[in-house]
């Protein structure tokens, strides 16, 4: 079975990419908040960064140089390989699907974009009137494909991984907190919205992947971000969302399931029902031994809290790494959203700790 590994594009939210078999048993995957690059490289993450491939290319060149200078021991940042500079990764943050539904973003110089708070969430009537064909023919999708045309013309391959989120995440973006009461008060409405979102995610991802493959960048996997899964019960997930994750998985070669830094244990029996599961991540409070036992053929990953990375002592972190090694490895150790005030030497020491842990 194909596997996915953690991949955090430079200046972008975390994604996944196909594993190649060279992964170490405690592979550290690093990612930094936009403010880290803004402070060190002067990069402005406003609208131009997300919409102008030329500007983004030049910014990423500076950003990668800074990373390679500070962390020369990290082999996945290679200044000689410039494919990942001509990329879609990070474009529009985590809001690709809401943009397709017509939700505008607010861009910031040192943060990822956010949904415009002035835009009202979808009402019941608006949800009932949603038309997939209209959604798939909006100006945002045209803009996205124009970017890909520019990248192909200037650099050839259209590299990158857009952040599709997950069905419940997107429903929360579009409907707000009402989606959680809809599950009980108006389940038919919730199901209808979930199904529309799922179809849009599949169609749009297939369109983008096809265009990327035409340029020589092979991509045919899908990773959902189910960051809101801990806000519903395992039963609710099974009844409403599991069939949709299964449907998404069936449409791609390999499937990844991101849960954020949460306890995945209560959801294990449901996640096991998803086909082609090549990636699963979780928080350290999960039953790591059980996860390893139940998902022996899945690339596993531990999402390490950026807050703990900043606040805990090196000895405390070392104990955490030993626990992860003993109970979950081989796995990725995902250190995403590293804050601007996290010392570089601390990160370097943690990388060294993980490298020295052997199976």
Q: What is the DSSP string of 186-221?
A: -HHHHHHHHHHHHHHHHHHHHHHHHHHHHTT----E
Q: Beta partners for 331?
A: 26, 300
In 3D, which of 69, 115, 123, 73 has the Cα closest to residue 96?
Answer: 115
Strands (E), the chain: 4-7, 15-18, 26-32, 105-106, 114-115, 221-225, 254-258, 277-282, 299-303, 331-338
Q: Tell me: the pLDDT tens digits for 154-187?
A: 999 999 999 999 999 999 999 999 999 999 999 9
In 3D, which of 59, 64, 73, 62 has the Cα closest to residue 24?
Answer: 73
* Cα(23)–Cα(25) distance, integer angstroms: 7
Q: Tell me: the pLDDT tens digits for 258-280?
A: 999 999 999 999 999 999 999 99
Kindly list the structural domains of the chain, giving each domain's residue range(s) and its CATH number in brackets, ordered by start: 4-24+33-306 (3.20.20.210)
Q: What is the mean pLDDT of the chain?
A: 97
pTM over 0.85: yes
Give the pLDDT confidence score for residue 358 in this predicted structure.
72
Give the pLDDT confidence score for residue 359 in this predicted structure.
60
Give the pLDDT confidence score for residue 176 in this predicted structure.
98
The answer to whether 158 and 215 are in contact (CB under 8 A) is yes
Q: Which value, in Å, is the radius of gyration of the alpha carbons in the chain? A: 20
Structure tokens belonging to residue 210:
């096809």
**What ranges in the chain are assigned the alpha helix state H?**
34-41, 47-51, 53-70, 96-100, 124-128, 132-135, 139-155, 167-175, 178-185, 187-214, 234-236, 242-250, 268-271, 288-294, 306-311, 314-327, 344-356
pLDDT surpasses 70 at 210: yes
Structure tokens belonging to residue 118:
């002035």
pLDDT surpasses 90 at 322: yes
* Cα(121)–Cα(12) distance, integer angstroms: 25
pLDDT surpasses 80 at 1: no
Q: Tell me: the pLDDT tens digits for 87-119?
A: 999 999 999 999 999 999 999 999 999 999 999
* Cα(278)–Cα(225) distance, integer angstroms: 14
């Amino acid at each position: 079975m194909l596997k996915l590994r953690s991949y955090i594009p430079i200046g972008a939210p975390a994604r996944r990419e196909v594993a190649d078999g060279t992964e170490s048993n405690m592979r550290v995957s690093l990612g930094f908040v936009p403010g880290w690059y803004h402070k060190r490289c002067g990069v402005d993450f406003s609208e131009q960064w997300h919409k102008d491939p030329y500007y983004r290319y030049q910014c990423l060149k500076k950003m990668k140089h800074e990373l390679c200078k500070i962390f020369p021991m990290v082999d996945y940042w290679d200044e000689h390989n410039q494919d990942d500079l001509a990329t879609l990764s990070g474009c529009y943050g985590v809001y690709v699907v809401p943009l397709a539904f017509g939700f505008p973003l607010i861009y910031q110089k040192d943060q990822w974009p956010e949904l415009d708070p002035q835009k009202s969430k979808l009402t019941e009537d608006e949800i009932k009137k949603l038309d997939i064909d209209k959604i798939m023919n909006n100006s945002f999708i045209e803009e996205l494909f124009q970017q890909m045309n520019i990248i192909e013309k200037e650099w050839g391959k259209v590299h990158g991984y857009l952040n599709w989120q997950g069905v419940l995440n997107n429903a929360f973006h579009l409907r707000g907190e009402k989606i959680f009461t809809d599950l009980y008060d108006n389940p038919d409405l919730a199901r209808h919205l979930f199904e529309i979102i799922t179809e849009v995610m599949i169609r749009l991802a297939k369109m983008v992947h096809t265009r990327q493959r035409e340029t020589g960048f092979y991509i045919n996997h899908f990773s959902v971000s189910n960051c809101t899964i801990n806000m519903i019960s395992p039963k609710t997930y099974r009844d409403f969302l599991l069939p949709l994750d299964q449907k998404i998985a069936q449409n791609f070669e390999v499937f990844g399931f991101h849960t954020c830094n949460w306890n995945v244990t209560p959801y294990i029996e449901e996640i096991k029902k998803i086909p082609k599961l090549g990636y699963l991540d979780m928080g350290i409070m999960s039953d790591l031994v059980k996860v390893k036992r139940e998902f022996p053929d899945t690339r596993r990953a531990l999402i390490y809290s950026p807050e703990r990375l900043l606040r805990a002592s090196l000895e405390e972190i070392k104990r955490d790494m030993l626990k992860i090694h003993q109970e979950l490895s081989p796995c990725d150790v995902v250190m995403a959203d590293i804050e601007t005030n996290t010392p570089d030497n601390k990160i370097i020491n943690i990388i060294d700790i993980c490298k020295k842990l052997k199976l």
